[in-house]
Structure 1
Amino acid sequence: MRLTHDDERARRICSLALDFMNARSPLPTSAIARAHYPDLREDAFRKAFSRDRAMLEACGVSLVERRQGGGEALWEADVERSFAQGAELAPAGAAALELACRPLAQDPSFPPARELRLALAKVARAFAETLAVGDAVGAGARREVATLRGCLTGRRAARVTYVDASGHESERLIAPYAFFGLRGVLYLVAGLLDESGNEVADHVRTYRVDRFRRVREEPGASFELPTDFSVDDWRRLPFQLGPTTFEAVFRVEAGREEDVRRAVDRQGRLERRGSDLVLLVPGSDVEAAASWAVAMGVRPVGPEELVGAWRRVLEGAMRDGS
């Protein structure tokens, strides 16, 4: 495939960004010229590097010039202006970043593709999740994802045809808020809009992306992301997808508290009951909760149907291993 001038520049910008993000010391001007502008004369290099610094600045990587003892200029990324200080991108920002970088991150001919994926995953967890499950969906589903992602980024409504778990097909107008991945499945959190484009109160829900049959942008319909929205409030454990039907109670052994706390995030709570530390989590699927408990190494103590399902999972594992 023949690369255009814009393709070459995009690759150079990504390579520059990765070099400066990973550099442990300032980079000399001569080293930058050799690595990224080998075919340019000095004047052309300085003009091109100046334009590329402006583009890097627009992308959030700000370069500063350092000089030592009158020698050649040294360049490094401004840490405070370039790197997130313990914060994750908002859903729209993460989607915009993914739209711009996904082609390069998935291009096997782009040498630092793996490093780019890792860097982006550190900046936005949503990128890591959608990239991880993106290859698992079919070509049709990828088209739906691309349309939904474009609507999310541009704050535009989407007209969708959706098939629920019971097989019922319906058409609705939605406001895409954010994606998240769970066990190889991609989900979308979205609000419901009426036919005038107004958001319907208390109708935010989670959709499985592979159940969208048709998706198209709705002309002239836009929306605003709720100020208190956080996709972390919608991430679920494997046994929580669907209406809540029980509260699972698990005993957590000594030394497992931090592992369990990280695994459940905001979906459950830990409390002391006498000498025991227990985890309480609302659930929808008893069998899935039992399998999760075995995988996590926690023991359910209630309700009884969950305890029974957990025992059956253990007995099945013992039979398979004998």
Structure 2
Amino acid sequence: MKNLIKWEFRHLLQQKMIYIALILIFGMVVLGHSVIDTSSKINFDKVEGIITEQDISTAEENMKNYSFDYNVNYTILKAQELENYQIGKISELNTILEEKYNGANSEIKEEIEMRKNVDVMYLTYYLVAESIVNYLSADGVIFIGILILIGIYSIFSRDGTTGVSQYTLTSKYGRTKLVSAKIIVSLTYTFFVSCGIVIFTWIYQLYRASANISYWEYAFDGWNAPIQFITELATAPYAMSIAQFHIVQLCFLLLGSISLATVFLIVSSVSRNSFISFLISLSVFFIPIVVVDILMADTQFAWIDAIYPYTPT
């Protein structure tokens, strides 16, 4: 069994397409590189804490006079808008609950209670934490999917050309052991790819924020900010910090990666030709992404955009 696992790992890591993909990913990162503006962090640190009515009034005046730091003032006013949204949403849900359900809908009651617990009136520098979460949800997911796809799309379908199929015919338990070895290798590869992209995301985003000076200077800043400060999650009903959301994000990312790898394994196992397996796996990965993007852009499918903030990744 150990020899089979080593054999499969060796064949997997010998695939040139994996290294070509890594080079292309690196090239995309370099071409799209930009620096996170951390110049306002000092001003954030000066006023960090609970946002008061006085802070809101001061921010409004500063925005009119173009004084003090724009990011700080914008965040304070943004927090006020988010607070008003939650209040308005709670009022809307209460109206629906009373007029349509006579106060007897448990799901709406639960959402109302959830939204009452949301507290967005806290100011802290959160831009680096936000960039880590956003990058992992966007480019990070794509990078993981591509590397998993390239790594395992042919893990079963290539047996006819590598001669491994002969082993399964001559060994008493060859088929069972071979399949087990392939699954172990694929899931292990998937785990390391997922962890690798997460680590890369952290290092790269901190590098963007540090301007080549100190990688870890901003590593722990802003993680206590509410998730509503992240634009894509502004309307979310969850009373979570960015740190809590990131933990959930990582769990779902790993679960999703394993699920995706499982689908690719199934496709590879039923495909006699590696190229066909590649095309089908590529379609399985990219078509849902394209379809969702198209539907979200269409006002007729606004419900997709409406439920997006409720998804963890």
Smaller-chain TM-score range? under 0.3
User: What's the TM-score once normalised by structure 1's chain length?
Assistant: 0.22
Which has a greater percent of strand? 1
Q: Compare relative contact order (CA 8 Å, sep 6+) and give the higher one, 1 or 2.
A: 2
User: What's the TM-score once normalised by structure 2's chain length?
Assistant: 0.22
Which has a greater percent of helix? 2
